Amino acid sequence: MKKVLLVALAGLILFSSLLFFPASVSARSSAQCYDDYDVCRGRALNMDTGWIKITLYLTVCDVSLGKCLILG
C-alpha cells in the first residue's frame, strides 16, 4: 500500500509539473526566478487548505525554481 501511495504521489507531482510550468520563451535572470519563487511560496503558505495540499504546492514551487534556474 505504501508503494502505491508513493507512486501515486510521484505521478501527481510529475503531472502537476508538466501542467503548471509554462515553456520558457526567453532567458530569465536568476533574480526573476527567485522573485517568482517568493511569490509562489507566499501564495502557498497563505492558502486556507490542509497541510497535504500546501505541501504539494510548496513542492511545485521548489521544482519550478529548479527548472527556472537550470533552463533559464
Q: How many domains does the structure of the chain reveal?
A: 1
Other Cβ atoms closer than 10 A to 38: 12
Q: Determine the straight-line distance between the first and last CA of the chain, rounded to whole angstroms.
A: 39
Above 70 in pLDDT, residue 10? yes
59-62 own/partner pairs: CB under 8 Å, 24+ apart: 59/13, 60/13, 60/16, 60/17, 60/20, 61/37
* pTM of the predicted model as reported, rounded to 2 decimal places: 0.61
Q: Which three cell numbers stand for residue 70?
A: 537550470
Compare 5 and 45 and report the one with higher pLDDT. 45
pLDDT confidence of residue 28 = 65
pLDDT in tens, 13-71: 877 776 666 555 555 688 899 999 999 999 999 999 999 999 999 999 999 998 888 87
The boundaries of the domain holding residue 40 are: 2-71
